Amino acid sequence: MNDELITERRRVAFPQVFGYLRHVTGGLVRHAALVDCLTDYCRRHELALCGVFTDRDATVAIRSPAFVGLLDALELRDTFGAVVPAFSHLGPRGIGNERKRQITATGTRLIVVRSLKPITESAPSRSTSHNLQPQGDT
């Protein structure tokens, strides 16, 4: 992990996050653009994007392979949260709400890059040293 000086008084590591995408339409260029969106957001908000899990199947299940991979990654020590381009990437309303619940149940945060208002879904934090408030940039 790369420690960067982000205050004059202490060295802190960039909080580690994992991305999640539901990418069932479009080609590699669209997928690359979505990954770039997450990468840019994380860079601007001093987050370390450690990986991106992508579901490509048009059928939506609460426990898809990529989503289970995300949940496993969120259980890793020092993981701050999950980042998605938009809430819709979690799936239709019922499934999306359940996935949001499962993410926050890991004790990490859900960060939504594009939303109508800035949101960070908090969960009981495993690390109290970080206080991020995403700006909802597009």
Q: Please check whether residue 30 lies inside any domain of the structure.
A: yes
Q: Please check whether residue 50 lies inside any domain of the structure.
A: yes
- Measured between its terminal Cα atoms, the distance across the chain in Å is 27
pTM of the model: 0.73
Name the token pair of 128: 């109290």
pLDDT in tens, 61-85: 778 999 999 999 999 999 999 999 9
pLDDT for residue 6 is more than 50: no
Of 60, 67, 66, 115, whose CA–CA distance to 92 is shortest? 60
Q: How many domains does the chain have?
A: 1
Any idea which residue has 């580690």 for tokens? 16
Going across the sheet that includes 48-55, the strands are 48-55, 16-22, 79-86, 109-114, 120-121
pLDDT in tens, 117-133: 544 555 544 443 344 44
pLDDT of residue 135: 40
Name the token pair of 111: 């960060």
pLDDT of residue 127: 42
**Which conformational region is residue 32 in: left (phi greater than 0), alpha (psi within -120 to 50 degrees), or beta?**
alpha
Q: For residue 31, how many other CB atoms are within 10 A of its CB?
A: 15
pLDDT in tens, 22-47: 876 778 888 999 999 999 999 999 99
Angle at 15 between CA 71 and CA 97, to 5 degrees: 35
Reduce the DSSP state of residue 27 to 3 states and report it: coil
What is the residue range of 87's domain? 25-57+64-116
Task: Please state the rounded mean pLDDT for residues 2-17.
Answer: 60
Distances (CA, A) of 25 to 21, 105, 132: 12, 30, 32
Q: Please check whether residue 123 lies inside any domain of the structure.
A: no
pLDDT of residue 137: 41
pLDDT-derived band at 59 (thresholds 50, 70, 90) equals: confident
Q: Give the CATH number, domain containing residue 84.
A: 3.40.50.1390
pLDDT of residue 27: 82
Q: Please check whether residue 106 lies inside any domain of the structure.
A: yes
Name the token pair of 96: 């999306």
